[in-house]
Structure 1
Amino acid sequence: MTTALIVLATIAFYFALLFVISWITGHKADNAGFFTGNRKSPWYMVTIAMIGASISGVTFISVPGAVLAGGYSYMQMVLGFFVGAVVVALVLIPMFYKMNLVSIYGYLENRFGLSSYRTGAWFFFVSKMLGASVRFFVVCVVLQTLVFNPLHIPFSLNVVLTVALIWLYSFQGGVKSLIWTDSLKTFCLILSVVCCIIFIADSLNLSFLELPAAVASHPTSKVFFFDDPNSGHYFWKQFIAGIFMIVAATGLDQDLMQRTLSCKNFHDSQKNMILSSFIQIFVIGLFLVLGTLLYMYADTHLANEGKIAGDALFGKIAWSDGFPLFIGIVFIIGLIAAAYSAAGSALTALTTSFTIDILKANEKQKDQDLTLTRKLVHFVMSLLMVIVIIIFYEMNDDSAINAVYSLAAYTYGPILGMFVFGMACKKPVYDRWVPIVAVMSPIICYILQSNSEKWFNGYQISFELLIINALITALGLCLLIRKKNKEQLT
């Protein structure tokens, strides 16, 4: 019970800070402020915000725990992320600024037509709702164990209360507030990881100079995997998949691009994209080092408590008897900073895309009508997120971080394929048939992934599924190319 009250007090303090920042930065925000931050965000603040925005509760919980099974193989994908960020900065950002887009999926309408536009928006909607719900689900499970079970509060009420808090601080300011609240999140995340690393190293009697050698010699710290091309950890699989993942899940994601496009011009936006992705390499490195230290600590101090691994590792050790209360509080601050900020930004992006892309509301409407529509959509998105999280709770049977990237591969693949085809080939297509291609591609990918080991001599399709999905979509669009002098069937 004492632990539950301490966690509740920590959450209350953090949210009080969030509400103050959100009110100061967003209480005068209009619709343009909600959707684009009035295109006045300082690029260096967006850079700081983007570092934290790319780290979810899943990263905070799952990356340290996953080093036992996969070592530091995740870093191979992170290196690909940086290359992908350069591609986004040099190719996509100038195009989005030139078109002056509020929602990036407006490109699809301009290039193909209304059906393609709505297809991209709906795939984003499904991907972001499922992805954000998986990320937030992981955190809700931790909070259920630490807080709500001791207070005899059911999981469903846990979700309702936490999503309600997110709705309250994000419904007014939108992107204009998120830039500043995400900057707070970045600070809290890095502080929590560094504090934990320092304490664990000290408890293991490792000095600052001894720490690198101790981590490097541990079996969980292997970074590069070149030995087995069939393995899901194979370097070129993860590196190339990382490039395409960041192009799709950042460059073609309304959530993260909404922050980036709030900069004053595309040069500032490019600086933000490249610098934040470069710094992220070192931040993820801290999480991986923390994972090794957590397993070293568990083997040394918690050997009598059985094997602790996976998503439960960080939280279990942070609140163990050997850790000071300060570390437990720091863990909770980092966790809620990662989770709540990510969920708040997801709700903002979902609200923007659904309002602009699917309902076709725009800034030419009366400001009062657009504001009412936006706030109603924001509430509905929050309610839907609650429902999806509860469904995940009832059927959860997979590692959280793998579930997130599997969802991204299936849902962002068609979006990536449409954008790549649109920029590489200038020929028109039969717009009305694009949704069928976009739906069939993930179905074909699922069949391929389910049977890849049997059909391809043990080869495992893992994170490269995104590339295959995009390629199938692009090939499908090739079949829909129409002659310019032929009457359009849309």
Structure 2
Amino acid sequence: MQPLTILLIIIIYFGILILISNRVSKKDSGNDAFFKANKNSKWYLVAFGMIGTALSGVTFISVPGQVGSPDIQFKYFQFILGNAIGFILIAKVLLPLYYRMNLTSIYGYIEQRLGHVSYKTAATIFLISRTIGSAARLYLVVIVLQRYVFDAFGIPFWVTVLISLGLIFAYTYRGGLKTIIITDTLQTLFLVSSVIFTIYFICSSLDYNLPEAFEAVKNSNYSKIFFFEDWLKSNYFWKQILGGIFVTLAMVGLDQDLMQKNLSCKNIGEAQKNMFTFTGIFVIINIFFLSVGALLYMYAEKNGISVPLDTVTGKPRTDLLFPEIAFNYLTLVPAIVFLLGLTAATFATTDSALTALTTSFCVDFLGMDKAENAANPNMVRTRHLVHIGFSLLMFLVIIVIYLLNSDAVVGLIFKVAAYTYGPLLGLYSFGLFMKTKTVNDRFVPIICILAPSITFLISSYSTELFGNYQFAEELIIVNGGLTFLGLLLISKKATTQTRF
């Protein structure tokens, strides 16, 4: 597919999103609509739209690309099973808490439970975590757009990033969450359709019907799911399950981004229906992504296609196998389907993240949810400036990632999560389980710096300290546990037992 064709499709795509945004936000672009969608979202729209937010472009191209590694294959599905357990725990434990407290920002719980400094610490951790994680996700897809579109027009990488963020800003700055509930539903529809049609097109190219494709994938060298052989390795089953549970609790249940959508439902019952429905769809769609990965490698073997090389390092880069085949070997329609799916997966994640970052800063640091600020007309203008600020900050983070040439994006995202979300896990665990204790609030930031630092040292020297043990996603448990122990050291008896 020619770069100009790809560019025209992207322009049309964003034109549709901007039209939807203008229509949705025309009657109400106030802060309540931006932060909470007026608490009137339909649960089934939230559930479907969250798929696009939760998956991102990383899932779309990195997960299929990793299937070719003998030590990975379908290992990711172990992690997905852990995710599913984590989603159920969120629905049964955290969502009732947030609804009972009628929170706009979920970090309001920390303020009421542990104190003002702890509250600001938790909100700051989220801002750092989500900015880095979302920038890494967007970086991966901008690299694809740069290689297959913008290089042909001589446009530098930083301009491509700026254009991408500018388009996201254009359809989110007015309506915020109210707009995103609608646009993410549309983008998820593109994403899911893209995966299904991609499987169909590749199967047709390999002369398989669906049952034959299933058997071929099952009998291939790429479909091993469960790894029980060596508990020291990072792919070991129970490591992946535990990592999946706790990464989900931290990156979803303690993250303003995805929880903000849940809190826009009318009541706890609808929010829980949303989470249970979302969990089922999430597991199924990830099976499809892994299957796409196996089929891509089978297609590459049959047609003598090598994994594309990174333009800087010259090393094979599995992230690029899917776009390489879609754009250069399949016909026009499959290429368009891939492009729509990749674009939807990426921008459904980034638009939601920018809205959540703006919400957290406006509520947690500027107090825009307070009654005295609700009627202030300057608050909407201030919110717009904050939205611009986070767009520029994400731009700078992407440029830094690019300069560092961090090509292992999936690993980067979960590594960042282990170090940054771990303290959130410790804070909430202490608040929920130590009902008779509180903390010396002013020392909490120190604990939340020390715990990740010690975790980094443990991870760096794990093979020497623990007999060749390799940490995987369960590293977040170590971080959260160290934070919890640190909070115990600075704890004191509460004057009254907490109700939360």
- Aligned residue pairs total 484
Deviation at 1:28, TM superposition (A): 2.4
1:299-340: CA deviation from partner (whole Å, max 9, x where unpaired): 0113478886510110101012x3101111111111111111
Q: Which structure 2 segments of 5+ residues have no match? A: 310-315
Task: Provide the C-alpha distance between the structure 1 equivalents of 2:317 and 2:228, rounded to a whole number of angstroms.
Answer: 25
Task: Tell me whether 354-363 or 274-283 shows the greater mean CA deviation.
Answer: 354-363
Q: Does 1:416 align with 2:415?
A: no
Which of 369, 374, 396 does residue 362 from structure 1 map onto?
A: 369
Deviation at 1:76, TM superposition (A): 0.5
> 2:320 matched to which residue of 1?
312
Deviation at 1:22, TM superposition (A): 1.6
Task: Tell me whether 431-440 or 322-331 shows the greater mean CA deviation.
Answer: 322-331
> 2:354 matched to which residue of 1?
347
Task: Provide the C-alpha distance between the structure 2 equivalents of 1:68 and 1:463, rounded to a whole number of angstroms.
Answer: 20
8 Å CA contact 1:363–1:370 kept in 2: the answer is: no
1:267-315: CA deviation from partner (whole Å, max 9, x where unpaired): 1001111210121111011000000000000001134788865101101
Q: Does 1:277 align with 2:279?
A: yes
> 1:60 matched to which residue of 2?
60
Deviation at 1:24, TM superposition (A): 2.1
Deviation at 1:61, TM superposition (A): 1.2
Q: Does 1:432 align with 2:414?
A: no
Task: Provide the C-alpha distance between the structure 1 equivalents of 2:495 and 2:87, rounded to a whole number of angstroms.
Answer: 39
1:91-127: CA deviation from partner (whole Å, max 9, x where unpaired): 1101101111100000000001111000000000000
Task: Provide the C-alpha distance between the structure 2 equivalents of 1:190 and 1:163, rounded to a whole number of angstroms.
Answer: 23
Task: Provide the C-alpha distance between the structure 2 equivalents of 1:139 and 1:398, rounded to a whole number of angstroms.
Answer: 12
Amino acid at match of 1:473: T
> 1:287 matched to which residue of 2?
289
Task: Provide the C-alpha distance between the structure 2 equivalents of 1:397 and 1:347, rounded to a whole number of angstroms.
Answer: 22
Task: Provide the C-alpha distance between the structure 1 equivalents of 2:46 and 2:308, rounded to a whole number of angstroms.
Answer: 43
> Is the partner of 2:492 in helix, strand or coil?
coil
Amino acid at match of 1:312: L
Question: 1:265 and 1:306, CA in 2 relative to 1: closer, same or farther beyond 3 A?
Answer: closer
> Is the partner of 1:54 in helix, strand or coil?
helix
> 1:457 matched to which residue of 2?
467
8 Å CA contact 1:185–1:338 kept in 2: the answer is: yes
Task: Provide the C-alpha distance between the structure 2 equivalents of 1:172 and 1:389, rounded to a whole number of angstroms.
Answer: 24
> 1:178 matched to which residue of 2?
180
Task: Provide the C-alpha distance between the structure 2 equivalents of 1:398 and 1:146, rounded to a whole number of angstroms.
Answer: 17
Task: Provide the C-alpha distance between the structure 2 equivalents of 1:306 and 1:11, rounded to a whole number of angstroms.
Answer: 23
Question: 1:484 and 1:91, CA in 2 relative to 1: closer, same or farther beyond 3 A?
Answer: closer
Task: Tell me whether 359-368 or 257-266 shows the greater mean CA deviation.
Answer: 359-368
Question: 1:304 and 1:423, CA in 2 relative to 1: closer, same or farther beyond 3 A?
Answer: closer
8 Å CA contact 2:308–2:321 kept in 1: the answer is: no
Task: Provide the C-alpha distance between the structure 1 equivalents of 2:381 and 2:308, rounded to a whole number of angstroms.
Answer: 54
Deviation at 1:26, TM superposition (A): 2.2
> 2:313 matched to which residue of 1?
none
> 1:378 matched to which residue of 2?
387
> 2:486 matched to which residue of 1?
476
Q: Does 1:34 align with 2:34?
A: yes
Deviation at 1:434, TM superposition (A): 0.4
Give the fraction of aligned pairs with identical amino acids, expressed as a percent. Answer: 43
Measured on the aligned residues, the alpha-carbon RMSD in Å equals 1.5
> 1:193 matched to which residue of 2?
195
The TM-score, its normalising length taken from structure 1, stands at 0.96
Q: Does 1:443 align with 2:445?
A: no
Task: Provide the C-alpha distance between the structure 1 equivalents of 2:126 and 2:115, rounded to a whole number of angstroms.
Answer: 17
8 Å CA contact 2:307–2:317 kept in 1: the answer is: no
Task: Provide the C-alpha distance between the structure 2 equivalents of 1:300 and 1:239, rounded to a whole number of angstroms.
Answer: 34
Q: Which structure 1 segments of 5+ residues have no match? A: none
Task: Provide the C-alpha distance between the structure 2 equivalents of 1:84 and 1:380, rounded to a whole number of angstroms.
Answer: 32
8 Å CA contact 1:225–1:233 kept in 2: the answer is: yes
Task: Provide the C-alpha distance between the structure 1 equivalents of 2:120 and 2:130, rounded to a whole number of angstroms.
Answer: 15
Deviation at 1:232, TM superposition (A): 0.6
Question: 1:312 and 1:76, CA in 2 relative to 1: closer, same or farther beyond 3 A?
Answer: same
Deviation at 1:197, TM superposition (A): 0.8
8 Å CA contact 1:82–1:274 kept in 2: the answer is: no
> 1:326 matched to which residue of 2?
333
Question: 1:309 and 1:295, CA in 2 relative to 1: closer, same or farther beyond 3 A?
Answer: farther
8 Å CA contact 1:31–1:367 kept in 2: the answer is: no
8 Å CA contact 1:68–1:309 kept in 2: the answer is: no
Task: Provide the C-alpha distance between the structure 1 equivalents of 2:281 and 2:211, rounded to a whole number of angstroms.
Answer: 23
> 2:224 matched to which residue of 1?
222
Task: Provide the C-alpha distance between the structure 2 equivalents of 1:457 and 1:20, rounded to a whole number of angstroms.
Answer: 58
Question: 1:301 and 1:357, CA in 2 relative to 1: closer, same or farther beyond 3 A?
Answer: same
